């Protein structure tokens, strides 16, 4: 695929994503704050997908998250939401006994949000088998870069997936 075709495809995906964003979600992030909006989304949208959800939120990180510019907070929220959605859709395997999700939000000279599951791990067939395009994380990685952040993925097939979303101070 040529670079122009790739950029065109990414542009269409971003446009589609922006059209699909519920208007209330943006105000929910502003109204509840990033951490509480994410807690609500995880509980309401994927509460039954996981056998357990463990939260570790440092108080300083929660305060720093409240001071993010609205657009940055929304980009981080939607990136985290996509990671949790992927874990819910692709994490469970026939062999796994339970699917656990761990979300840690910390502050170490930057805001860091780590989402980890003990599921299937990333494989080339996960997203296509479940009907996805496989571009969700790439798209959100690009959006994180636009606001000065990063999205890093670490995964071992059959063991776990850990995604780290990071924003500088």
102-124 pLDDT tens trace: 999 999 999 999 999 999 988 75
CB-based contact 151:163 (threshold 8 Å): yes
Helices and strands (DSSP H and E) totals, the chain: 7, 5
- Give residue-wise pLDDT tens across range 73-112: 999 999 999 999 999 999 987 776 799 999 999 999 999 9
What strands lie across the sheet with 150-156, from one edge to the other? Answer: 52-57, 100-107, 110-117, 160-168, 150-156
pLDDT more than 90, % of the chain: 64
The pLDDT value given to residue 128: 45
- CA separation, residue 31 to residues 23, 50, 115 (Å): 13, 26, 23
pTM for the model: 0.80
Domains identified in the chain and CATH numbers: 3-168 (3.30.565.10)
- Work out the number of other CB atoms within 10 angstroms of the CB of residue 163: 25
């Amino acid at each position: 695929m040529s670079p122009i075709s790739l950029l065109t495809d990414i542009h269409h995906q971003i446009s589609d994503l922006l059209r699909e964003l519920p208007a209330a979600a943006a105000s929910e992030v502003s109204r509840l704050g990033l951490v509480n909006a994410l807690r609500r989304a995880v509980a309401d949208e994927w509460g039954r997908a996981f056998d357990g959800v463990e939260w570790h939120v440092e108080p300083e990180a929660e305060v720093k998250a409240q001071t993010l510019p609205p657009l940055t907070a929304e980009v981080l929220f939607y990136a985290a939401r996509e990671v949790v959605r992927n874990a819910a859709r692709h994490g469970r395997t026939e062999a796994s006994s339970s699917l656990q999700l761990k979300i840690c939000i910390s502050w170490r000279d930057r805001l860091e949000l780590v989402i980890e599951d003990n599921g299937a791990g990333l494989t080339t067939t996960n997203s296509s088998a479940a009907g996805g395009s496989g571009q969700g994380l790439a798209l959100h990685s690009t959006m994180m870069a636009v606001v000065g952040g990063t999205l890093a993925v670490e995964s071992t097939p059959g063991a776990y997936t850990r995604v780290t979303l990071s924003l500088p101070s």
